[in-house]
């Protein structure tokens, strides 16, 4: 079987879809909110990107593509379970290193859409902050200021005001770094928290919009991912797109 045929056998999680798969085994999946990038324990397998065991040491799912044929499916990046959109895996061990190198070198172009309360102030569209990340109950937390030593940069590409009350905006954001909770903490710092963000957002506004409009999720979605990687001495381009789910 070639890689595209192998992809058909992937045990996709609930609501997960394949949106792109190239001949070298690189796959883009579109995951809904609430789905984990990988299980942290056996009981979470059915809530994850693939319904399969995950090995944290190799950062790969262990999948049986056909009876008796085991395959490692390498996870190349992650999204918070509350964030939806594009995430990359590969069926091919030879593409794993070059793509991870592209992420390390900030050569992967990712674009998100975020529905936020309010509107960003006019000014420099390049957001620069210093973040601190610490372990907390139930996961990790990021914050700005203090002794933060992690540079976080995001480009505000577009702002589309949403008519009506409360005042909302649909932002197109391009993170230039990949810090934990980066977009969530940077929007919160600028007083335009993402709708539905229970950690860094506005509790009262979230409660009101859930009651008025039925919006209860974190409104952050990865809409596109683009990169170039090396394979067998050649440069290969890969691009995946996912439509925004925020129709307001």
**Architecture of the CATH domain 111-221:** 2-Layer Sandwich (3.30)
Percentage of residues in the chain having pLDDT higher than 70: 96
pLDDT digits (tens, 9 = 90+) for 200-216: 999 999 999 999 999 99
**Topology annotation, domain 3-105:** Alpha-Beta Plaits (3.30.70)
CATH topology agreement for domains 3-105 and 111-221 = no
Q: What is the pTM assigned to this prediction?
A: 0.92
Domain positions in the chain are 3-105, 111-221
95-149 confidence digits (pLDDT tens): 999 999 999 998 999 999 999 999 999 888 999 999 888 776 666 777 776 566 8
Cα 156 to Cα 115: distance, rounded to the nearest angstrom? 13
pLDDT of residue 32 exceeding 70 = yes
pLDDT tens-digit profile of 159-206? 999 988 889 999 999 999 988 899 999 999 999 999 999 999 999 999
Least confidently predicted of 26-30, 34-38, 164-168: 164-168
The phi and psi torsions of 96 (rounded to 5 degrees) equal -60, -55
- 9-25: average pLDDT: 96
C-beta of residue 228 within 8 angstroms of C-beta of residue 239: no
């Amino acid at each position: 079987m070639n890689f595209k045929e192998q992809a058909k056998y992937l045990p996709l999680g609930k609501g997960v879809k394949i949106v792109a798969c190239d001949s070298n085994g690189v796959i883009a999946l579109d995951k809904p909110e609430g789905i984990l990038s990988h299980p942290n324990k056996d009981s979470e397998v059915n809530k994850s990107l693939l319904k399969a065991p995950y090995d944290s040491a190799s950062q790969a799912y262990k999948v049986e593509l056909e009876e008796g044929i085991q395959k490692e499916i390498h996870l190349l990046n992650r999204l918070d379970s509350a964030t939806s959109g594009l995430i990359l895996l590969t069926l091919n061990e030879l593409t794993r290193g070059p793509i991870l190198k592209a992420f390390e070198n900030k050569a992967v172009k990712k674009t998100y859409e975020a529905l936020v309360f309010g509107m960003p102030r006019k000014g420099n569209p390049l957001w620069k902050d210093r973040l601190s990340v610490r372990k907390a109950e139930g996961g990790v937390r990021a914050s700005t200021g203090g002794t933060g030593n992690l540079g976080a940069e995001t480009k505000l590409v577009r702002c589309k005001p949403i008519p009506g009350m409360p005042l909302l905006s649909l932002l197109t954001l391009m993170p230039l770094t990949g810090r934990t909770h980066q977009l969530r903490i940077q929007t919160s710092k600028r007083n335009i928290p993402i709708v539905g963000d229970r950690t860094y957002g506005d509790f009262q506004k979230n409660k009101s919009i859930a009651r008025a409009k039925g919006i209860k999720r974190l409104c952050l979605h990865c809409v596109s991912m683009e990169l170039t990687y090396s394979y067998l001495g050649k440069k290969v381009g890969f691009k995946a797109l996912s439509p925004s789910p925020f129709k307001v």
